[in-house]
Amino acid sequence: MKHSMDVQFEQEVEQLIKDIRQHYGYDFNGYARASVYRRVKRFLANNHLQTIPELREQVFSDSFFFEGFLQEITVNVTEMFRDPAFFLSLRQNVLPMLSTYPFIKIWDAGCSTGEELFSLAILLKEEGLLDRTKIYATDINQKVLKQAKEGIFSASNIASYTSGYYASGGKQEFASYYVSNYGSLKFDSSLIKNVVFYPHNLATDSTFNEFHLILCRNVLIYFNRELQERVFTLFDDSLVDLGYLALGKKETLAMSGIFSRYAFVDKENRIHRKTG
């Protein structure tokens, strides 16, 4: 049985979510509640706030503060060449098929701070496809979109980035893609010359193009089943016939209404192809 203080906290968070949608247009209704409550509690502690009313006052009076709150709630955990086997599979099983198109359109949905985006761009460059590819990099959070556009990442992760690159079939010296400066890595801006950075809310926004490949990895695990189904339908509407959909390892189409129209290209790495 829940403690009365826990019930009050959850009720106050629910009202906060409702009011944020009305005030800012961000819809968190479909986010998994256990994750939301946990993240709100952590945000309160990190910002030395005691109650939800204190949080509300800051959220609705200070848009800069709200951006920080948004960044906590929407989850931005990413790294370059995360799960190298996925990128190797993408290189071997998907890019050769995409190469048959005269022009390629890719959607990196929930691109966060851009590590996955630059990883993808490097693969495309090495396979000779970057110049004829348009990538739409979207996220609900405009602050992380700005970070992604800058292409600056911490040098503290360079060992894992480098090993991930080579494990994913890297063909060059990884250091040729960036310059190191004062603990940061600045990646070559030519990698994202054909990238459109675009604020997009998977919970409320609609399709905006047709794509040959959609990547949305480790985003849907934070959504409830209803919102997941909405997003799967959105992706289905956004993919060309025989297009590819890449999900995170803990995400599945199995219970989705679109499942029958997709076949696995790589079951282990959650790469699907639209078959009908």
Which residues lie across from 179 on neighbouring strands? 186
Q: What is the pLDDT of residues 129-184, one digit of tens each?
A: 999 999 999 999 888 899 999 999 999 999 999 999 999 999 999 999 999 998 99
pLDDT at 271: 98
Selected from 3.40.50.2300, 3.40.50.150, 3.30.70.240, 3.40.30.10, the CATH number assigned to the domain covering 84-274 reads: 3.40.50.150
Nearest to 268 by CA among 243, 244, 254, 247: 247
Q: How far is the CA of 154 from the CAs of 71, 148, 237, in angstroms?
A: 18, 13, 36
In the block, tokens 């190469």 appear at 99
Beta-carbon contacts of residue 168 (< 8 Å; ≥ 6 apart): 81, 84, 85, 86, 87, 88, 91, 119, 123
212 vs 219: CA distance, rounded Å: 20
User: CA geometry: angle at 30 spanning 147 and 67, to 5°?
Assistant: 30
Query: How long, in residues, is the chain?
Result: 276
pTM, full prediction: 0.83
161 vs 177: CA distance, rounded Å: 12
55 vs 53: CA distance, rounded Å: 5
Selected from 1.10.155, 1.20.1630, 2.30.110, 3.30.230, the CATH number assigned to the domain covering 4-74 reads: 1.10.155
Give me the tens of pLDDT residue by residue for the chain, a chain 276 residues long.
566 778 899 999 999 999 998 888 888 888 888 888 988 999 999 999 999 999 999 999 998 898 888 878 876 667 899 999 999 999 999 999 999 999 999 999 999 999 999 999 999 999 999 999 999 999 998 888 999 999 999 999 999 999 999 999 999 999 999 999 989 999 999 999 999 999 999 989 999 999 999 999 988 988 889 999 999 999 999 999 999 999 999 899 998 999 999 999 999 999 999 997
pLDDT at 23: 87
Separation of CA 186 from chain center: 21
pLDDT at 75: 65
138 vs 114: CA distance, rounded Å: 10
- The domain ranges of the chain are 4-74, 84-274
**3 CB-side CA count, 13 A:** 3
Q: What is the pLDDT of residues 13-28, one digit of tens each?
A: 999 999 998 888 888 8
User: Per the structure block, which two tokens stand in for 122?
Assistant: 């490097």
Would you tell me how many other CB atoms lie within 10 Å of the CB of residue 215? 25
110 vs 255: CA distance, rounded Å: 22
pLDDT at 76: 61
Beta-carbon contacts of residue 202 (< 8 Å; ≥ 6 apart): 109, 110, 140, 216, 219, 223, 227, 230, 231, 234
Q: How far is the CA of 173 from the CAs of 91, 189, 275, in angstroms?
A: 17, 17, 37
